[in-house]
């Protein structure tokens, strides 16, 4: 494309082939709209950091700078601060994981850990098996490294073992190399479901038999609403599972501190990849987290977060039950941030989004959580950030939008409603 005689992007012919697979996520595009104060956003999964005691965090940061400032503000280890790695073992012990500090690589959020693992294992064309739906950030990483992403069906207990086995068999029959099985077993993003112990054992057994590495992403594992945290898959296999975690949900996302726990040989490769990418993760952020863990009742703070999110989850579920039209279904999360909603037959969440935004409510269309166009009848609702009354108002607005869509289908037919994906008298929101 040219503008005024010059190309819109003069470097387009110089990009690497893998750049063609990079695309903006629907979630990021929504933030410009969803951040408007008049819009009730049930879209972004922002942690409710207001539940943290600000005075405590201020004192922690001040004490760190006064007592250890020259170290905190300096370069650090490519593998991460050893004291923090030891403390991470206390955190993951809550889900049954045991390891050695040398098994841990600290990263700039677990998103970086996803990037490093994919960088180390995947060549273009290699297969990564993921759930259907799956975390949009992981899909972006896999596509950026030119992986073939294969979705595997889920049910109310997460990844379906039989479907996983069939996907592995089909890939093997086609001569494809499956490098990773990526799963979020606890309080799934976006589906909101959780694998039970027997399901986890079966999935692990299938991965072991196939000789495929299991990539377990567990950012929400400590944020369950009932009973003890689910036991991590990594707790039962130290060699066949890479375990990813993050302090984004249990302390604060702005600190950008996550980790990978990996088998020894893999850990060495991850450290080298990390050093090539960022030299070292932020010493200041790591030491802030370490000081917090050493001096504050972090387990009690996690309990506070659980109660905050449980109250919001309950507000969402009660409102959905009271207000949603017949034919609408949704998952009932036992923890985490999300519920996955299925619209009545004939409705399309992507086509409906402009009407929703016009009615001052935002969500994420389900297609953002697939690489193959699935999910048009689905949407993700996030309850972690808005106040309970705000959630109730958002559901009321959303229910009215769905009712309006159903009336359009009844009057004009499904094809008329679906045509609004590409053209509509309802103005689309500015998602730039």
In angstroms, the Cα distances linking 206 to 166, 169, 181 are: 10, 11, 10
Q: What pLDDT is attached to residue 144?
A: 94
Whole-angstrom distance, CA of residue 307 vs CA of residue 116: 34
What's the sign of the alpha-carbon dihedral 209, 210, 211, 215?
Answer: negative
What's the sign of the alpha-carbon dihedral 423, 426, 431, 432?
Answer: positive
Whole-angstrom distance, CA of residue 107 vs CA of residue 98: 19
Q: What pLDDT is attached to residue 36?
A: 79
8 A C-beta contact, residue 114 and residue 260: no
pLDDT in tens, the chain (432 residues): 444 455 678 887 788 887 777 776 655 666 566 667 899 999 989 999 999 988 888 999 999 999 999 999 999 999 999 999 999 999 999 999 999 999 999 999 999 999 999 999 999 999 999 999 999 999 999 999 999 999 999 999 999 999 999 999 999 999 999 999 999 999 999 999 999 999 999 999 999 999 999 999 999 999 999 999 999 999 999 999 999 999 999 999 999 999 999 999 999 999 999 999 999 999 999 999 999 999 999 999 999 999 999 999 999 999 999 999 999 999 999 999 999 999 999 999 999 999 999 999 999 999 999 999 999 999 999 999 999 999 999 999 999 999 999 999 888 776 555 555 444 333 333 333
Q: What pLDDT is attached to residue 396?
A: 98
Range list of H helices, 41-134: 54-72, 82-92, 109-121
- DSSP summary character for residue 335: B
Structure tokens at 79: 């593998």
Domains of the chain, each with CATH number or no CATH: 24-47+301-412 (3.90.1150.10), 54-295 (3.40.640.10)
Q: Per-residue b/e over 373-386, b at no fewer than 16 CB within 10 Å?
A: eebbbbbbbbbbbb
Query: What residues have CB less than 8 Å from 121, skipping those under 6 apart?
Result: 179, 180, 213
In angstroms, the Cα distances linking 151 to 244, 374, 384 are: 20, 10, 26
Q: What pLDDT is attached to residue 432?
A: 30
Q: What pLDDT is attached to residue 402?
A: 98
CB atoms within 10 A of CB 270: 23
Q: What pLDDT is attached to residue 28?
A: 61
8 A C-beta contact, residue 358 and residue 375: no
Q: What pLDDT is attached to residue 107?
A: 98
Q: Is 0.85 topped by the overall pTM? A: yes
Give the CA-trace dihedral at 167, 202, 269, 294, to 10 degrees. Answer: 140
Q: What pLDDT is attached to residue 411?
A: 86
């Amino acid at each position: 494309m040219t503008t005024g005689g010059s190309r819109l992007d003069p470097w387009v012919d110089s990009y690497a082939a893998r750049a063609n697979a990079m695309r903006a996520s629907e979630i990021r595009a929504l933030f410009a709209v969803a951040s408007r104060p008049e819009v009730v956003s049930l879209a972004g999964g922002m942690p409710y950091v207001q539940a943290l005691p600000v005075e405590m965090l201020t004192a922690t940061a001040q004490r760190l700078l006064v007592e250890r400032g020259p170290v905190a503000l300096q370069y650090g280890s490519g593998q991460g601060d050893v004291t923090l790695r030891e403390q991470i073992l206390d955190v993951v012990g809550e889900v049954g994981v045991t390891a050695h500090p040398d098994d841990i690589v600290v990263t700039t959020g677990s998103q970086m850990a996803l990037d490093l693992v994919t960088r180390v294992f995947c060549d273009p064309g290699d297969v990564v098996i993921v759930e259907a739906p799956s975390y949009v950030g992981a899909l972006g990483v896999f596509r950026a490294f030119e992986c073939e992403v294969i979705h595997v069906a889920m049910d109310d207990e997460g990844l379906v073992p039989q479907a996983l086995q069939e996907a592995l068999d089909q890939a093997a029959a086609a001569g494809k190399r499956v490098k990773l099985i990526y799963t979020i077993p606890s309080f799934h993003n976006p589906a909101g479901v959780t694998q039970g112990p027997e399901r986890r054992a079966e999935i692990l057994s299938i991965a072991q038999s196939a000789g495929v590495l299991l990539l377990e992403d567990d950012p929400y594992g400590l944020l369950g609403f009932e009973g003890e945290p689910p036991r991590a898959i990594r707790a039962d296999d130290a060699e066949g599972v890479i375990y990813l975690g993050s302090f984004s949900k249990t302390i604060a996302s702005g600190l950008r501190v996550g980790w990978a726990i990996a088998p020894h040989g893999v850990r060495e490769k991850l450290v080298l990849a990390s050093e090539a990418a960022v030299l070292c993760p932020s010493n200041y952020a790591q030491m802030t987290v370490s000081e917090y863990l050493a001096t504050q009742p972090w387990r009690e703070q996690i309990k506070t977060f659980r109660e905050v999110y449980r109250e919001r989850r309950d507000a969402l579920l009660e409102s959905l039950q009271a207000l949603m039209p017949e034919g609408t279904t949704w998952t009932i999360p036992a923890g985490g941030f999300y519920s996955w909603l299925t619209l009545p037959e004939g409705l399309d969440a992507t086509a409906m989004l402009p009407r929703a935004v016009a009615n001052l409510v935002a969500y994420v269309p389900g297609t953002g959580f697939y690489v193959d166009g699935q999910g048009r009848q689905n949407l993700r609702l996030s309850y972690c950030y808005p106040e309970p009354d705000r959630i109730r108002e958002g559901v009321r607005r959303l229910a009215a939008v769905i009712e309006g869509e159903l009336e359009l289908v009844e009057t004009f037919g499904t094809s008329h409603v679906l045509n609004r994906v590409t053209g509509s008298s309802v103005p689309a929101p500015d998602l730039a």
